[in-house]
Copies of this chain bind each other. A is one copy, B any other.
Amino acid sequence: MTVGTMKKLLCGVDLGGTKLSAGLFSRDGRQIDRLEINDHVDKDNDGVTEAIIGLVKGIQSKNKIQDSDLLGIGICMAAHIRFDEGLVIKTSNFKIPFKNYPMRAKVQAHFDVPVILDNDANAQAYGEFIFGAGRGRKNVVFMTVSSGIGSGIIIDEKLLRGVTGTAGEIGHTITQSESDQRCTCGNRGCLMAQASGIFFPSLFQKKLDEGKSSVINVDDVSTINGKTIAEGFRRGDEICTEIFYESARMIGIGVYNIFQLLNPEAVIIGGGLINLGEKYIEEVRRTFRSYARDMMVDPMEILLAELKGDSGLIGAATLILERR
């Protein structure tokens, strides 16, 4: 690799339902610039794609950067992605949903450097692997726990995408087959339905219905989120404390299942729920250890994600660095 290549920049794009951002990064992960827009939300599929192209062209011209100064452009979004073909299979968080939309080709037509398209969990996983808690390792799994649960699996320094590109959907693995809690996917017993933020309202309501008490003043149970649970936990609230520990326990079980199936060096936990604090992570670790016991030969670490806030953006940029 020439010095010229080493000096090239990484461009990342994070496409969300409410926010579209682009960033320029040096090869060592330093952010050089960042642009963000929100007016893509009402656009159709082609309109969103044009917004991406415009944002990248914008950050290029603002920084006097040619295509030849970039190593490539990585785009991530919350979607099922057919990775090999750069197709958005489907989305659930856009006003006008994408369906089998050839986004990578449409963006690629405007740039003379490689364009990569992947889902946000894979991008965040690769970002943590290159610049975050996974640095220097070869086999790590990144698990994001927030409103939903997803993961990105890195085997031998490469993302495991599977045949379609949808591997890593740990949130929809069944961990409690007899559960009556229905997931957004329609199944019962998904890890996600027992541990992630989007289900805190229904878990809360269920405990109220069971006659349990709460000191939390909730006019509208549907507004309950991680912050509510964290506050209630701090105040010793019965229901919040139960949800806090039950969620952590299920995440610990998810981590344990990853251990048994994939035997990685480490599992990195990211996403909004890690803000529930050290006691939450402690309970995740305690649960994992209580299941793994002497079946764990080499220690498997449970680490906290290190890339904050813009983890999707820098993650998307690092996709360019993946060996293919």
| Residues of A participating in the B interface, judged by any CB pair closer than 8 Å | 80, 82, 89, 139, 151, 153, 155, 160-170, 172-179, 185-187, 194, 250, 253, 256-257, 260-265, 291, 293, 295, 297-298, 300
Contacts and interface: CB of A to CB of B under 8 A. Distances in A.
Contacts of A165: 263
A155 B159 CA distance: 11
Contact of A257 (B153, B173, B295): B173
Contact of A155 (B160, B187, B263, B295): B160
Contact of A173 (B160, B260, B265): B260
A187 B295 CA distance: 11
Contacts of A172: 260, 295
24 contacts: A82-B297, A139-B162, A151-B261, A153-B261, A153-B262, A155-B155, A160-B262, A163-B263, A163-B265, A167-B262, A169-B261, A169-B263, A169-B295, A170-B260, A170-B261, A172-B260, A172-B295, A173-B256, A173-B260, A174-B175, A174-B253, A178-B179, A185-B295, A186-B293
Q: Which of A174, A256, A257 has most B Cβ within 10 Å? A: A174
A153 B139 CA distance: 15
A283 to B, nearest CB: 14
Contacts of A163: 139, 263-265, 298, 300
B173 A176 contact: no
Given A169-B260, A293-B186, A298 B176 contact: no
Number of copies: 2
Contacts of A262: 153, 160, 162, 167
A80 B162 contact: no
A263 B177 contact: no
A297 B139 contact: no
A262 B173 CA distance: 11
Nearest to A100: B297
Nearest to A167: B263
A155 B194 CA distance: 30
A89 B187 contact: no
A268 to B, nearest CB: 15
A168 B175 CA distance: 17
Shortest beta-carbon contacts, A-B, top 9: A162-B263, A167-B263, A169-B260, A173-B257, A164-B297, A164-B298, A176-B177, A172-B260, A174-B253
A153 B80 CA distance: 23
Contacts of A164: 263, 297-298
Nearest to A172: B260
A89 B297 contact: yes
Nearest to A256: B174
Q: Which of A179, A250, A256, A298 has most B Cβ within 10 Å? A: A298
